[in-house]
Amino acid sequence: MASNKKLLVLPGDGIGPEVVGEVRRIVDWMDQRRHVSFDISEGLVGGASIDAHGTPLTDETMAEAMNVDAVLFGSIGGPKWETLPFNSQPERGLLRLRKEMDLFANLRPAMVFDALADASSLKHELVAGLDIMILRELTGGVYFGEPRGIETLPSGERRGFNTQSYTESEIERVARVGFELAQKRNGKLCSVEKANVMESGVLWREVVSSIAGDYPDVTLSHMYADNCAMQIVRNPKQFDVIVTDNLFGDILSDCAAMLTGSLGMLPSASLGAEDPTTGRRMALYEPVHGSAPDIAGQGKANPLAEVLSFAMLLRYSFDMGEDADIIEAAVGNVLGAGIRTADIAAPGQTAISTSEMGTALLKELDKLAA
Ligand code: NAD
């Protein structure tokens, strides 16, 4: 059956192919049980592409990524390629994808499955059932602003400097993604900046407020970034979607991620601009973790971050929220039944392999879809 859902799968290096392999089994399951088919192509990225083609991303694979509806990415890197010159390293493949697809909106959910609430460094009751989304602007702000550099002053002392800079359109496009996310979730958007001390924050707040009228079903609030850091650890469940700039988002998303307790559980999405005529948005979905060379090839990797990235892909690129819900529910039920890979196993719990986790998920999906 021909499909209008074009997907490019880039498994990459280390545990990437192992965890992506478990998603491919879910894709097959969806084909058979829910009659959803994808038009899937698979490519090389990172070290695997360096070995085959001498570059971390070929022009052909880059062009394919621009042409599909969504890219599902595994992970890249490893000791084999660490000694290559900086510009030839595996990571350049991912950076090129992000840059050329102009992926300015980085979505990092922090979700705590009840069964894992004790793995968090916070108290059980603060994080059980947590489901918040940090939306970080990814292509602007102080990491890219000019002027930047290290200069030597007439006194001989050196001065390092960077520029925090946002245009109205850069703020508006990420804020609109934030409002749209809130519409698909619980209808609350919290915009985070430092308008009390930074002009870029004043503009940020003005622009976000000026478009709020377009989303009457979303309740907008504003918070200073330092207060937000406190609130994330004091009472994280007060939030639904947080939208913030590149620097604050970098810090706040890592902080929120740790509420969940494990790297093997964290998905992410990076979205580009919406094409006004087709409504299509460039998008790349990937787990937060890397290629985990220490466990690669041993069948020990936790595939759930990749599986949850795929659930995000269904929800945000294909508007298949119901299917995403079923996959997330299957993950919750499997964990609830005490099924664990080594990284999330509590003392005394038996750890299963990557593919056994995949099999457990498929069984659960069968039950949920029955
Ligand atoms: P890492 O995320 O690969 O691993 C950190 C630790 O977490 C390791 O002990 C690893 O075994 C464990 N871990 C990670 N994912 C896991 C999973 N799914 N299941 C079970 N355990 C898991 O980070 P690192 O060790 O700092 O980096 C290893 C390589 O990955 C480096 O080459 C780095 O550059 C690369 N990296 C790639 C990405 C990416 O592809 N986006 C992100 C981060 C790091």
Q: Is residue 254 annotated as a catalytic residue, yes or no?
A: yes
Q: What is the distance in A from the centroid of ligand 1 to the CA of 292?
A: 4
Residues 68 and 100 in one domain: yes
Is 76 near ligand 1, meaning CB less than 6 Å away? yes
**DSSP designation for 243:** E
Burial of 138 (0-12, 13-18, 19+ CB in 10 A): buried
Phi first, then psi, for residue 288 (nearest 5°) are: -75, -25
- Identify the helix (H) or strand (E) that includes residue 292: none
pLDDT tens per residue across span 84-119: 998 899 999 999 999 899 999 999 999 999 889 888
Looking at the structure of the chain, the number of domains it has is 2
Q: Whose CA is nearest to atom 10 of ligand 1?
A: 292
Q: Is 148 in the same domain as 254?
A: yes
The reported pLDDT for the residue numbered 262 is 79
User: Looking at the domain assignment, is residue 47 inside a domain?
Assistant: yes
Same domain, 84 and 57: yes
Asked if residue 237 and residue 166 are part of one domain, the reply reads yes
Establish whether residue 263 lines the binding site of ligand 1, counting it when its CB lies within 6 angstroms of any ligand atom.
Answer: yes
User: Distance between CA atoms of 136 and 133, rounded to whole angstroms?
Assistant: 10
Residue 355 included in any domain: yes
Whether 321 and 217 map to the same domain: the answer is: no
Verify that 366 and 311 share a domain, yes or no.
Answer: yes
Q: Is 226 a catalytic residue?
A: yes
| 131 occurs within a structural domain | yes
Among candidate residues 260, 294, 314, the one where a domain is terminated: 260
What pLDDT, on the 0 to 100 scale, is given for residue 1? 46
pLDDT tens digits, 6-40: 999 999 999 999 999 999 999 999 999 988 999 99
Q: Which domain-ending residue is among 244, 260, 276? A: 260
Query: How does DSSP assign 214-230, residue by residue?
Result: G-TTSEEEEEEHHHHHH
Give domain status of residue 285, yes or no.
yes
In a domain, 115, yes or no: no
Residue 174 belongs to a domain with what CATH number? 3.40.718.10
- Phi, psi angles (nearest 5°) of residue 97: -60, -50
131 shares a domain with 88: no
Out of 211, 242, 260, pick the residue that ends a domain: 260
In terms of domains, do 304 and 232 share one?
no
Domain shared by 277 and 242, yes or no: no
Residue nearest to atom 44 of ligand 1 (CA): 290
Residues 62 and 93 in one domain: yes
Query: Which tens digits make up the pLDDT trace of 154-166?
Result: 999 999 999 999 9
Distance 78 CA to ligand 1 centre (A): 9
Structural domain range at position 363: 1-105+266-370
116 domain residue, yes or no: no
| Cα-to-centroid distance, 306 and ligand 1 (Å) | 13
What lies within 8 Å, CB to CB, of 274 at 6+ separation is 280, 281
> Does residue 113 lie within any of the structural domains?
no
Do 204 and 330 lie in one domain? The reply is no
DSSP assigned state of 102:
T
Verify that 320 and 203 share a domain, yes or no: no
Q: Which residues of the chain have pLDDT under 50?
A: 1-2
Helices (H), the chain: 16-33, 47-53, 59-67, 91-100, 124-127, 168-184, 199-211, 225-234, 246-258, 304-317, 321-336, 354-369
